[in-house]
């Protein structure tokens, strides 16, 4: 008699499909989104204006942006994470996983997966507040979340990061965990899908994945470093002028909910930023020279 529960029976019956959906979702769209997200954030190294332009382009999707986020980002992340936990907890047999890999990679893939999931939950809450309805956002902001304002992108992201060394370390660890999990996951995915099954092919694939992981890690840490180097009052003056110019030309619809307001948390600089903001905004020539 089969004593398996209905849940485990479903998992066992669909193991082949679920494993492939799990590996595929880790690459597309989750992995692809992470690469784009880190590169976009690193654009702040070029200038505050470059980063703000990128955010304006993303938010040009308007009302369909939440739908795009949930369908192509959040739901795939949740599926990948939840099914990953099922695998880790033994809901599915692990025979065949890392058949050709070492114990270190096997253990690190599991550990970084859990770290990455916790970090992503924290990051979304810290910057965006998870959900976008006012009573919820008011509550989240009261405990230090929802710090990011899209139309003051660099200044609010920088303020959220510059105020605490603990937050900065959490982001550094979280970014590196995500990068390792993706790079090593691509190597594993190649085995799962039969792209490289011989030892020489796996060795060369390992070199490529290592180079990709190191490069993406540099991009991720550079984006963090770029945010820590942002001059918040100067950035906010630039962002406000860009917003006003785009509203005037009709490229952006007025939306005060997406802008920074003085009652928001601004741990890194505090209320003294307002005076510097106003002074710089009143002198656009001097601001442009900065």
Encode pLDDT of 245-286 as tens digits: 999 999 999 999 899 987 655 444 444 444 444 444 444 434
Phi-psi map region of 168: left, alpha, beta (phi>0 left; psi -120 to 50 alpha) = alpha
CA–CA distance, 72 with 119 (Å, rounded to integer):
19
Q: Give the 3-state secondary structure of residue 170.
A: helix
More confident residue, 86 or 185: 185
Q: What is the pLDDT of residue 18?
A: 83
Least confident of 20-24, 40-44, 237-241, 263-267: 263-267
Of 190, 231, 232, 244, the C-alpha closest to 212 is: 190
Residues 6+ apart with CB under 8 A from 122: 170, 174
C-alpha dist (Å) from residue 181 to 80, 94, 169: 12, 18, 18
Extract the runs of DSSP E, i.e. beta strands, from the chain. Answer: none
Instruction: Read off the DSSP letter of residue 196.
Output: -
CB 236 within 8 A of CB 273: yes
SS3 276: helix
Q: Is 20 helix (H, G, I), strand (E, B) or coil?
A: helix
**Residue written as token pair 């485990």:** 8
Tens-place pLDDT, residues 34-75: 999 999 999 999 999 999 999 999 999 988 998 999 999 999
Q: Which residue has the higher pLDDT, 23 or 205?
A: 205
Instruction: Round to whole Å and give the CA distance between 253 and 54.
Output: 16
Distances (CA, A) of 45 to 39, 59, 132: 10, 21, 29
Length of the chain: 290
The answer to whether the Cα torsion of 82, 213, 67, 239 is positive or negative is positive
User: What rounded mean pLDDT belongs to the chain?
Assistant: 85
Question: Is it the case that residue 220 has pLDDT exceeding 90?
Answer: yes
Average pLDDT over residues 208-216: 97
* Residue position matching structure tokens 């979280």: 174
For tokens 């100067």, name the residue. Answer: 234
Q: Give the DSSP letter of residue 282.
A: T
Q: Where do the domains of the chain lie?
A: 6-289
Q: Which two tokens stand for residue 87?
A: 């695998």
CB-CB contact of 12 with 92 (8 Å): yes
How would residue 19 be classed by pLDDT, with cut points 50, 70 and 90? confident
Question: Whole-angstrom Cα distance, residue 193 to residue 205?
Answer: 13
Pick the CATH number of 6-289 from 3.40.50.620, 1.20.1300.10, 3.30.540.10, 3.40.50.300: 1.20.1300.10
Return d(Cα 202, Cα 188) in angstroms, integer: 9
């Amino acid at each position: 008699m089969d004593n398996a529960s209905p849940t485990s029976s479903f998992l066992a019956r669909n193991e082949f499909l679920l494993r492939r959906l799990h590996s595929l979702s880790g690459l597309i769209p989750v992995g692809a989104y992470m690469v784009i997200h880190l590169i976009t954030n690193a654009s702040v190294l070029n200038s505050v204006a470059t980063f703000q332009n990128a955010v304006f382009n993303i938010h040009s999707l308007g009302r369909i942006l939440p739908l795009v986020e949930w369908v192509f980002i959040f739901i795939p992340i949740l599926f990948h994470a939840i099914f990953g936990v099922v695998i880790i907890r033994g809901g599915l047999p692990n025979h065949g996983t890392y058949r050709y890999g070492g114990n270190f990679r096997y253990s690190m893939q599991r550990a970084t997966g859990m770290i990455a999931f916790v970090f992503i939950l924290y990051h979304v809450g810290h910057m965006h507040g998870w959900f976008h309805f006012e009573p919820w956002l008011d509550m989240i902001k009261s405990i230090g979340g929802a710090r990011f304002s899209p139309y003051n992108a660099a200044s609010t992201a920088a303020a959220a990061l510059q105020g605490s060394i603990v937050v900065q370390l959490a982001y550094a660890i979280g970014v590196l965990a995500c990068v390792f999990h993706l790079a090593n996951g691509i190597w594993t995915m190649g085995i799962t899908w039969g792209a490289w099954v011989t030892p020489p092919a796996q060795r060369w694939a390992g070199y490529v994945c290592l180079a990709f992981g190191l490069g993406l890690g540099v991009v991720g840490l550079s984006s963090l470093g770029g945010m820590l180097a942002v001059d918040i009052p100067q950035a906010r003056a630039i962002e406000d002028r860009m917003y006003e110019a785009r509203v005037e030309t009709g490229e952006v619809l007025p939306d005060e909910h997406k802008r920074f307001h003085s009652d928001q948390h601004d741990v890194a600089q505090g209320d003294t930023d307002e005076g510097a903001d106003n002074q710089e905004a009143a002198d656009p020539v001097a601001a442009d020279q900065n």
